[in-house]
Structure 1
Amino acid sequence: MDSTEELLGKTLAEKPTITEPQVGDLKSSSSSVFRKKVVNTLTSAKNLFYMPSFKIYDSGVSGLYDYGPPGCALKSNVLALWRQHFILEENMLEVDCPCITPEVVLQASGHVDKFTDLMVKDEITGACHRADHLLKDFCNEKLNKELNLLSTEKIKEYGIVAPVTKNPLSDPYPFNLMFQTSIGPSGAVRGYMRPETAQGIFVNFKDLYYYNGNKLPFAAAQIGQAFRNEISPRQGLLRVQDKSHPRYSEVEDLEFLMFPREEQGPGKDAVILRLGDAVTNGTVLNETLAYFIGRVYLFLTRLGISKERLRFRQHLGNEMAHYAADCWDAEIECSYGWTECVGIADRSAYDLRAHSEKSGIPLVAHEKFSAPREVEKLVIIPVKEELGLAFKGDQKKIVEALEAMDEKEAMEVKAALELQGEVEFRVCTLGKAEIKKEYQRVFTPSVIEPSFCIGRIIYCVFEHSFYTRPEDEKLNVFRFPPVIAPIKCTVFPHVQNKDYEAVAKKISKSLTAAGVSNKLDTTGTTIGKRYARTDELGVPFAITADDDTTTVTIRERDSRDQIRVEINKVVRLVQDLTNGVRTWADIQSEYPRIPFKKINDLP
């Protein structure tokens, strides 16, 4: 199965799907060599961004990984930025729902019957493989538009066998991607580990709608794990049917790589489009979908994802989920190729209608009109005497069916009567249309859902941020934006000296009190080696205490330039830099600049 953790740990021997990654100074390196260098830096014991889970037991379990201290900090910072960018700035309603979902909920949503991939099995070893992946690997170009034709005929026709072992494969069979479990000690209630966090939002729609003052549009969001071996914060956005958006103008002029479905095919690639033009010409279905495509673009680039290696690809017709009216994936290019990291789907009213039908609870919204509207209503008047004679004991059922008929059906009956003089319900009489006043309309809202796979995004951030110093490829650097850097700054004395150390400790304590993560280093290694160490952890700033008793230097990671700042101003300045209030370029004109070559900056 494709998974976040699997992306972190795919074997280095896997054939790369792109050529040389345009990252840092590794222009002559292959994808696999570059990937190995990044992974080795991330997993080394001195950095420990992540490591294989349970590795003391025969090297761990394939595909499962644990975040180490800096990895946890970076992930927490990414989620904090996500919460700021979406939940706070969009005024969303955040919920936190259980990881286990009763079967009835996932039956209504379609996941029990439809959330499957076709699998094949190595008939000798029993190893399982996704049939579409084997077909794609076998002849990607030939099957570019046929990947859903996963039949016995296709597997046999192309003579596809199991990878590595070359053994024959079984016929394809459906495999549900959810983990089944039971709820309660008796095991009588069947459930599943949730495959997506969206359903928890949908089933809470009625209460969220009331909490929001019975007003639309509103948005709801959830951060949590979805059990397809993915780390997957999600948000479900509930909106009215016209699908315009009040803040659409903020994103309509954005230009970035887009890959509409009609442009996809062998030899074709994404092109730069203006988002507003994509809506105008119908490429993107509506303003609300486009708005969140734009917001996702802004979020990912703020994390440090390269604009040139980020594209939005529209799902082909045979890729669309059972609930989707339209869907776009934010794909990021890394050493594994173009990798789906965010899905932005127009789910229409599918989910709320499905849960309404299954639960019997109407999940609807009410729009009150500023003034009553006169509408023509068709009134069905069953003639119960004739119904009794014709249907006897079934009379009650017939009456209920007629009274439950919606306006569309009733109008069709009315038209048929006017045209033909009879309809299927010949024993009933239709009353004439009446003019009535309506004070509100009742409807099922539509849903726009951006869904984020944070683990995949983080791995792509690792690759996009990694580079080596031009003068020495052994000097590794992660250029994390300050807002997500796991450690915001390091603090150390220029040399081992009690007075210098006292200043460094005081500054470190003040930074901690101000909520700025920092690392105090009073080891006796050279200043250059300590700078190199912090660069490899992606620390954006380093504060050094020296023989000037009133000031310290602040070094910026990528330029390696330094400025000299008064001690009583350093904490506030670092806060502003790491919170994004000010940039390094903003402050360089205010403080004396010290080029890095003038100090011992190299190990």
Structure 2
Amino acid sequence: MSTATARSTVPFSRESLELVLKRRFFFAPSFDIYGGVSGLYDYGPPGCAFQANIVDTWRKHFILEEDMLEVDCTMLTPHDVLKTSGHVDKFSDWMVRDLKTGEIFRADHLVEEVFEARLKGDKAARGVATEAKEDEDKKKRKKKVKEIQNIKLDDDVVTEYESILAQIDGYSGPQLGELIVKHNITNPANGNALSPPVEFNLMFETAIGPSGQLKGYLRPETAQGQFLNFAKLLDFNNEKMPFASASIGKSFRNEISPRAGLLRVREFLMAEIEHYVDPEDKSHPRFEEIKDIKLKFLPKNIQESGSNELSEVTVGEAVASGMVDNQTLGYFIARIYLFLIKIGVDKNRLRFRQHMSNEMAHYAADCWDAELQSSYGWIECVGCADRSAYDLSVHSAKTNEKLVVRQPLAEPKVVEEFDVEIAKKKFGPKFRKDAGAVEKWLLTRTQCELEDLATELKDNGKITFSVEGVEGKIELDTEFVNIEKKSKSVHIREFTPNVIEPSFGIGRIIYSIFEHQFWARPEDADRGVLSLPPLVAPTKALLVPLSNSAELRPVVKKVSEYLRSEKVPFKVDDSSASIGKRYARNDELGTPFGITIDFDSVKDESVTLRERDSTKQVRGSYVQVIDAIKAITYEGASWAEATAKLTPFESQSGDA
């Protein structure tokens, strides 16, 4: 039986996977003996090693291959920084509360859960076989959910539910409230009525310093530190454009109702890239390398029509048609795909979903999420957005620091720019001590802001604005200020770069890979296998002496020393369990190779090499075997290529 056939024989069981992950201590709830805190997890030895290997692969795949500049910024962020970026005002989710018990739900997730339960019940009523797969939270609601199962829905209701689910990420709080009322959505556990949705800011607030006067937050992302260091990075890069910075570190989000294990947590590892590009030239020099890669896209117009039908086209075709905004964005989408496949994501359960018009940030030119399919549905694991010049522009305007690129022009160029003319003699009597602050505010506006102010001045005959530190609203008419476009000759081109931002949620990727690579042996459904790629597997080889005989110990020591010298992570299992059982428990850990030392090894230093998924075995000298392991793990060789000079071996130990 082929490995692919064996993997598809036993149906996937999330319960079996979670038992393995907990038993083998890949991760566990934090503060477990104190009852735990939802949304917080600790990684055990194999989980730590797996995460470290993924991060190492990420660094090599992106930072090394793309010549990026890595920075490590503080997790504590002052209030003013996140106020400027928009997080203080807008970094929120919508929550609803059980009016009797006070239980809190995230509104969009609750609507999604109830609609999916009703659709499942409709399918059951229509005679379509379904199998309920409920996580721990859903089990608590099992009794109530059963009441709405096996109820046939009208065809138009089914269509409406499916359309809403296809667009659920784009609904505002008031719209979610309307859905809850219209479709009679209550607390699934007890049927209690719910409050209207209210916004909840997801950032953890703190005070910096003993006085408590400097308000701050634990960062919700790693991006802001990169933007604030832009000028230093540009200088480090010898003023060359385009270039990219990168950062790997912890971020924090105070999730409303954390569920689904590692998929929705309050502290998590992020890996983010900020690629700075000329807004007038978003081509990419290496686009030709990836343009023929075919990917599954879910564009916004399809979602907005209420469908989830995928469009499978090459990256080159997606960019040429305008579906993906530009070459650099398309290039990174393809590179994200190649990285995810390399570390163990099933390409058949990966899609790129475009943000819909009502969920895309107002400043973004385009945004795509790499979503991975799991037993919890499609999960956003990587975001890839063209954020235009928003981030650098707002921080520049706030701090009066120029976060721009200056490039000499071969020939002078005539440009049209908005210019502010201030009647300075009238400012003094009008604003007195605040005159300088108001004047500075006007002179530090971006071209986009000046365009809006010019339109306001023309349409209303005045402009109205607020200046920090100045009391009340400020109104100025044409007697005090004039804003209009003027032509001027320039020798230096000064521009604010646009930013392409790939952002990776490492924990979500890790869990999705667990689901994509977990299966059970057909001959024994209790023998779980985690088929992690050798490159990222926590341990590469299991060293298994046939017995505890003192005669084998010198060979075990010699092979161990060689594995260490070759930097191949390994473990020794010299327990009294059978070889089959020893291999079985390491199959659960994702260990791709086993090295068996027997009494023939004492004579000629030969050992047996076992491959985890197929259980194929070959024999050769321990040096040849370890060279084969290195070739497969680090050089991308296939099993057949790496073991071509080794002798096929039939197991006598009962291992399967």
Asked whether the two chains share a fold, i.e. TM above 0.5, the reply is yes
Q: Residues 25-36 of structure 1 correspond to what in structure 2 (within 5 A)?
A: 25=7, 29=11, 34-36=13-15
Contact 1:380 1:402 in 2 (8 A): no
User: Of 329, 350, 354, which aligns to 1:289?
Assistant: 329
Instruction: Report the AA paired with residue 186 of structure 2.
Output: V
What is residue 373 of structure 1 aligned with on the other side?
Answer: 412
* Cα displacement string for residues 351-398 of structure 1 (whole angstroms, at most 9, x for unaligned residues): 0001011111111111223x22242678989898xx96x989469989
Q: Residues 436-585 of structure 1 correspond to what in structure 2 (within 5 A)?
A: 436=489, 438-546=490-598, 547-548=600-601, 549-585=604-640
User: Of 357, 375, 392, which aligns to 1:352?
Assistant: 392
Q: Residues 29-178 of structure 1 correspond to what in structure 2 (within 5 A)?
A: 29=11, 34-44=13-23, 47-58=24-35, 60-139=36-115, 140-144=161-165, 145=167, 148-151=171-174, 152-178=177-203
3-state secondary structure, aligned to 1:219: strand
Displacement of 1:203: 0.8
* Cα displacement string for residues 191-243 of structure 1 (whole angstroms, at most 9, x for unaligned residues): 11111110110111111111111111110111011102133222222222121
More helix by share: 2
What is residue 275 of structure 1 aligned with on the other side?
Answer: 315
CA 1:399–1:90: 2 relative to 1, 3 Å: closer
Instruction: Report the AA paired with residue 29 of structure 2.
Output: P
2: CA distance between counterparts of 1:400 and 1:56?
Answer: 57
What is residue 282 of structure 2 aligned with on the other side?
Answer: 243
Residue 587 (1) aligns with residue 642 (2): yes
Report the count of equivalent residues. 560
Contact 1:224 1:232 in 2 (8 A): yes
Contact 1:259 1:269 in 2 (8 A): yes
1: CA distance between counterparts of 2:47 and 2:418?
Answer: 65
2: CA distance between counterparts of 1:429 and 1:534?
Answer: 74
Displacement of 1:255: 0.5
User: Of 169, 179, 204, which aligns to 2:204?
Assistant: 179
The range that moved more, 468-477 or 35-44, is 468-477
Contact 1:366 1:440 in 2 (8 A): yes
CA 1:141–1:401: 2 relative to 1, 3 Å: closer
CA 1:588–1:431: 2 relative to 1, 3 Å: closer
What is residue 383 of structure 2 aligned with on the other side?
Answer: 343
Instruction: Report the AA paired with residue 517 of structure 1.
Output: P
Contact 1:96 1:223 in 2 (8 A): yes
Displacement of 1:505: 1.9
* Cα displacement string for residues 171-201 of structure 1 (whole angstroms, at most 9, x for unaligned residues): 2211101111111111101111111110110
Displacement of 1:465: 1.1
* Cα displacement string for residues 478-522 of structure 1 (whole angstroms, at most 9, x for unaligned residues): 111110010100112223332322212211122123221101122
Residue 205 (1) aligns with residue 257 (2): no
Displacement of 1:158: 3.0
CA 1:392–1:104: 2 relative to 1, 3 Å: closer
2: CA distance between counterparts of 1:392 and 1:490?
Answer: 80
Contact 2:393 2:446 in 1 (8 A): no
Displacement of 1:557: 1.3
Contact 2:163 2:307 in 1 (8 A): no
3-state secondary structure, aligned to 2:323: coil
Gaps spanning 5+ residues in structure 1: where? 1-21, 418-423
3-state secondary structure, aligned to 1:224: strand
3-state secondary structure, aligned to 1:231: strand
Displacement of 1:400: 8.6
Instruction: Report the AA paired with residue 558 of structure 1.
Output: D
The range that moved more, 551-560 or 193-202, is 551-560
What is residue 144 of structure 2 aligned with on the other side?
Answer: none
What is residue 14 of structure 1 aligned with on the other side?
Answer: none
CA 1:556–1:26: 2 relative to 1, 3 Å: closer
2: CA distance between counterparts of 1:577 and 1:154?
Answer: 53
3-state secondary structure, aligned to 1:522: coil
1: CA distance between counterparts of 2:390 and 2:628?
Answer: 50
* Cα displacement string for residues 445-504 of structure 1 (whole angstroms, at most 9, x for unaligned residues): 110111111111111111111112222222221111110010100112223332322212
Displacement of 1:269: 2.4
Instruction: Report the AA paired with residue 516 of structure 2.
Output: H
What is residue 261 of structure 1 aligned with on the other side?
Answer: 300
TM-score of the superposed pair, with normalisation by structure 2: 0.78
1: CA distance between counterparts of 2:67 and 2:329?
Answer: 17
Contact 1:114 1:322 in 2 (8 A): no
2: CA distance between counterparts of 1:379 and 1:54?
Answer: 58
CA 1:496–1:366: 2 relative to 1, 3 Å: same
3-state secondary structure, aligned to 2:61: helix
Contact 2:546 2:579 in 1 (8 A): yes
1: CA distance between counterparts of 2:290 and 2:552?
Answer: 49
CA 1:87–1:404: 2 relative to 1, 3 Å: closer
What is residue 226 of structure 1 aligned with on the other side?
Answer: 251
1: CA distance between counterparts of 2:354 and 2:510?
Answer: 23
State the identity %: 44
Contact 2:294 2:315 in 1 (8 A): yes
Instruction: Report the AA paired with residue 148 of structure 1.
Output: Y
TM-score of the superposed pair, with normalisation by structure 1: 0.85
Give the superposed CA RMSD. 3.2
1: CA distance between counterparts of 2:8 and 2:191?
Answer: 36
1: CA distance between counterparts of 2:381 and 2:72?
Answer: 22
